């Protein structure tokens, strides 16, 4: 077990109410101890480190000034909430973060009354806070609403939709803009430059009126110190900030690591604000832990690590990740096709487009956290004659669904969707599971939907997408390492709507869509020992279906079972529709579709999540035996 830090003040804090009895000096010490405890905890669990370290002082100050859970502190994304969890009664479980049965890595309503609103996808906090503020106003739950949102998350359209609404409704609510000049990657875009200009030596304009307007909201702290006043006046002095134009009182920027600034500003804002108030706080991601601060992503997410050295304890890899294979396959296609361009919404590293971007900087676009825009921007690129590969995690593509339907599919534009993190992803849990993309894409007219069974298949699907110009096409692949199969030098385009036979057998046909194929093969090995030899096929396409293959499997077998890493409504549902339409059920086929269960599965290892979902080899084997009505030894209860 890693050494626990010495934390005499933190040991006295069990709930935020305990902060009320601490002096400002003790609060400073508390912040130091909270930082040490956060580092120690993440070193044993792995997880989001840098964001939490950057808000340690802010977390202490918010809980010292506001009265949670009556006041609702809403952490945007929630990846910075570990210090908050430690202060809100969850310290005893903090070393279970992101593990099966443990604490979630994000805020979660069912976990604690101190998590008033769940998160994990970005840029929702201001909308939620405004909802709480209005509810309080209308006689619902009383208390203040405080949204804490990062500069990266602030760039998303949803944050501005909420600000626009809040400025109109004029209710008291707080937005803390936690500006650390980082997203996961360095932030991009005009808003980021704007925020930098708010504190980067703009000439002060109209100092007197700025000071006056600030003084009307926050008189006391400014009387106290010229330095603090100057810091805040800088922001005011840029002259009617964007936030003020949207109807917010703007305060800042202030040093988010200096409790001597944070506490008086928050206390005064808490005591006096009457309308929407935005407090602009400058912080450093990874603050106080050199290995994080000094790394290019400021310690955004870490595997378990050695606290002294910062060295991560990663299991050795046996195969390249799907993400890397995708990036390299796309580079190979782009080398010979100058029309190929790539788009990411703030996930260059996660999608592998950082690798593509090194090779083709001018053909790579990081649009910031803006999935909706990413999709329609890609549609525009396609309409303009380019071949866009829009690389988005399955879970984040959910946010761009109307754009997929309205801007891409209806116009039959050849946008290529590279859908990473398909299926269950593990420690990030239900919010990040890629469960729904097949269901929400395969029902769209003209959309081609593929799933790779291994990394070589992924290469072929990249090539297929590059060659496909007749409408939109999507291919999905999971988080993590590939199967370790031999890779071709370059992918070869697949025939659209054609699956492949893997192994011919008898009685039972197992039709896999995606990387469950490996589990199907394992199940088949075990069934072989029981004298059963199922036919195995890889569908490759959920849309268009390989009708010929499916009908042949249905005709020639007693049992047909589909399996996919997705929710109901996806591949299996389309197969069932085909079989029903063709009257195959009339002839007694026993058909089963193995899909993710109708529940949100909490964080665990991906293997454990698939076990819970009943989709590993033993469950596949049990399903076959159950349908055949033979021995069910080993079947899970
Ligand atoms: C809709 C959505 N897109 C992408 C992500 C992935 N993501 C998680 S944190 C993050 C960066 C957020 O930056 P910022 O809000 O500035 O917080 P910081 O990490 O800098 O504290 C991104 C892109 C997400 N969670 N939600
Ligand atoms: C908080 C968030 O949304 C990301 O940091 C996410 O956890 C990244 O997931 P991967 O580790 O799969 O890239
Ligand atoms: Mg940031």
Predicted pLDDT of residue 193: 86
**Is residue 1's pLDDT more than 70?**
no
| pLDDT of amino acid 492 | 98
Task: Tell me whether residue 79 is annotated as binding.
Answer: yes
**Closest residue by CA, ligand 1 atom 17:** 150
pLDDT band at 150 (very low <50, low <70, confident <90, very high): very high
Higher-pLDDT residue of 219 and 102 is 102
pLDDT at 203: 32
pLDDT tens, residue by residue, 385-403 = 999 999 999 999 999 999 9
Which atom of ligand 1 lies at the shortest distance from residue 184's CA? Answer: 11
Does the beta carbon of 148 lie inside 6 Å of ligand 1?
no
What does the pLDDT read at residue 252?
87
**pLDDT value of position 136:** 98
Q: What is the mean pLDDT of the chain?
A: 93
pLDDT tens for 469-528 read 999 999 999 999 999 999 999 999 999 999 999 999 999 999 999 999 999 999 999 999
pLDDT, position 177: 97
ipTM above 0.85, yes or no: yes
Whether 351 lines ligand 1, by a CB cut-off of 6 Å, is: no
Alpha-carbon torsion, ordered 602, 301, 287, 249, to 10 deg: -60
Ligand 2 contact via 301 beta carbon (within 6 Å)? yes
The confidence score (pLDDT) of residue 204 equals 28
**Which 3-state string (H, E, C) describes 38-84?**
HHHHHHHHCEECHHHHHCHHHHHHHHHHCCCCCCEEEECCCCCCHHH
Q: Is the pLDDT of residue 636 over 60?
A: no
**Bridge partners of residue 590, in order along the sequence:** 559
pLDDT value at residue 75: 98
| CA-atom Rg of the chain in angstroms | 27
For residue 328, the CA-to-ligand 2 centroid distance in Å is 21
Q: What's the average model confidence in pLDDT over 339-366?
A: 98
Q: How far is the CA of 131 from the centre of ligand 1 (A)?
A: 22
Residue 223 has pLDDT above 50, yes or no: no
Average pLDDT over residues 373-391: 98
User: Which pLDDT score is estimated for 225?
Assistant: 41
Mean pLDDT (whole number) for 315-322:
93
pLDDT surpasses 60 at 2: no
pLDDT at position 210 = 36
CA within 13 Å, CB half, 44: 14
Query: Among residues of the chain, what percentage have pLDDT more than 70?
Result: 92
Tell me: pLDDT of 95 over 90: yes
The backbone torsions φ and ψ at residue 410, rounded to the nearest 5 degrees and listed phi first, read -60, -35
CA distance 56 to 257: 8
Per the DSSP assignment, residues forming a β-bridge with 512 are 538, 563
Q: What percentage of the chain carries pLDDT values higher than 90?
A: 88
359 flagged as catalytic: no
Angle 401-403-406 from CA coordinates, rounded to 5°: 110
Verify whether residue 111 is a known catalytic residue: no
pLDDT band at 44 (very low <50, low <70, confident <90, very high): very high
- Given a cut of 70, is residue 233 above it in pLDDT? no
Q: What is the CB neighbour count within 10 angstroms for residue 387?
A: 24
pLDDT value at residue 236: 47
Between CA 611 and CA 203 the distance in angstroms is: 61
According to the model, what pLDDT value does residue 72 have?
A: 98
User: So what's the pLDDT on residue 113?
Assistant: 98
Span 3-26, average pLDDT:
96
- 195 pLDDT band (50/70/90 cuts)? confident
pLDDT, residue 637, reads: 30
Q: Which domains are seen in the chain, by residue range?
A: 10-293 (3.40.50.970), 322-476 (3.40.50.970), 500-628 (3.40.50.920)
Task: Judge whether 82 is annotated as a binding position.
Answer: no
Catalytic residue among 228, 285, 287, 479: 285
Residue 25: Cβ within 10 Å count: 10
Task: Name the token pair of 81.
Answer: 């909430």
Q: Which residues pair with 538 in a beta bridge?
A: 500, 512
For residue 311, pLDDT beyond 90: yes
Tell me phi and psi for residue 424, to 5 degrees.
-80, 130
Sorting pLDDT into bands at 50, 70 and 90, what band is 187? confident
CB-CB contact of 534 with 524 (8 Å): yes
In short, whether 77's Cβ falls inside 6 Å of ligand 1 is: yes
Query: Once rounded to an integer, what is the mean pLDDT over residues 19-43?
Result: 98
- Which residues lie below 8 Å from residue 289, measured CB to CB, with a gap of 6+? 35, 39, 49, 53, 299, 310
């Amino acid at each position: 077990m890693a050494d626990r830090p010495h934390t005499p003040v933190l040991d006295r804090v069990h709930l935020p109410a305990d902060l009320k009895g601490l002096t400002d000096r003790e609060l400073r010490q508390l912040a130091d101890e909270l930082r040490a405890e956060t580092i120690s905890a993440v070193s044993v669990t792995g997880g989001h480190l840098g964001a939490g370290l950057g808000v340690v002082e802010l977390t202490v100050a918010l809980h010292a000034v506001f009265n949670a859970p009556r006041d609702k502190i809403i952490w945007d994304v929630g990846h910075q909430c570990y210090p908050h969890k430690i202060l809100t009664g969850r310290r005893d479980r903090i070393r279970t973060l992101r593990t099966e049965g443990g604490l979630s890595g994000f805020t979660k309503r069912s976990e604690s009354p101190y998590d008033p609103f769940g998160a994990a996808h970005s840029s929702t906090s201001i909308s939620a806070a405004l909802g709480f503020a209005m509810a309080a106003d209308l006689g619902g739950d009383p208390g203040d609403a405080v949204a804490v949102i990062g500069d990266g998350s602030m760039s998303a359209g949803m944050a501005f939709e909420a600000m626009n609404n809040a400025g109109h409704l004029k209710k008291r609510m707080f937005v803390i803009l936690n500006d650390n000049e980082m997203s996961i990657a360095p932030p991009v875009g005009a808003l980021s430059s704007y925020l930098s200009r708010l504190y980067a030596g703009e000439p002060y304009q109209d100092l007197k009126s700025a000071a006056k307007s600030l003084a009307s909201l926050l008189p006391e702290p400014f009387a106290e110190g010229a330095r603090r006043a100057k810091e805040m006046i800088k922001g005011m002095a840029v002259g009617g900030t964007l936030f003020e134009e949207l109807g917010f009182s703007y305060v800042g920027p202030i040093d988010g690591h200096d409790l001597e600034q944070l506490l008086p500003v928050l206390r005064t804002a808490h005591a006096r604000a009457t309308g929407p108030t935005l407090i602009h706080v400058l912080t450093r991601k990874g603050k106080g832990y050199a290995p994080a601060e000094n790394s290019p992503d400021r310690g955004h997410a870490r595997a378990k690590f050695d606290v002294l050295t910062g060295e991560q304890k990663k299991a050795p890899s046996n195969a390249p990740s799907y993400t890397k294979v995708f990036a390299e396959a796309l580079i190979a296609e782009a080398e010979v096709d100058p029309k190929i361009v790539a788009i990411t919404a703030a996930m260059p590293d996660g999608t592998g487009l950082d690798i593509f971007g090194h090779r083709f900087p001018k053909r790579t676009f990081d649009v910031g956290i803006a999935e909706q825009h990413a999709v329609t921007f890609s549609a525009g690129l396609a309409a303009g004659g380019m071949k866009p590969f829009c690389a988005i995690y399955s879970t984040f593509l959910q946010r761009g669904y109307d754009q997929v339907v309205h801007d891409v599919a209806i116009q039959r534009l050849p946008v290529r969707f590279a859908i990473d993190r398909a299926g269950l992803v593990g420690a990030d849990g239900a919010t990040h599971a890629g469960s729904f993309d097949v269901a929400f894409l395969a029902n769209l007219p003209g959309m081609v939907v593929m799933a790779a069974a291994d990394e070589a298949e992924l290469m072929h699907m990249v090539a297929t997408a590059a060659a496909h110009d007749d409408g939109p096409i999507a291919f999905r692949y999971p988080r993590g390492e590939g199967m370790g199969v031999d890779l071709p030098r370059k992918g070869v385009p697949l025939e659209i709507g054609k699956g492949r036979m893997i192994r011919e057998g008898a009685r039972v046909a197992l039709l896999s869509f995606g990387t469950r194929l490996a589990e199907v093969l394992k199940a088949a090995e075990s069934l072989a020992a029981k004298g059963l030899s199922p036919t195995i096929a890889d569908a490759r396409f959920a849309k268009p279906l390989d009708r010929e293959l499916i009908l042949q499997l249905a005709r020639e077998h007693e049992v047909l079972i589909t399996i996919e890493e997705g929710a109901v409504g996806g591949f299996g549902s389309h197969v069932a529709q085909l079989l029903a339409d063709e009257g195959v059920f009339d002839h007694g086929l026993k058909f089963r579709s193995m899909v993710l269960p109708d529940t949100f599965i909490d964080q665990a290892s991906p293997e454990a999540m698939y076990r819970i979902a009943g989709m590993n080899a033993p469950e596949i084997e049990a399903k076959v035996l159950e349908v055949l009505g033979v021995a069910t030894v080993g079947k899970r209860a």
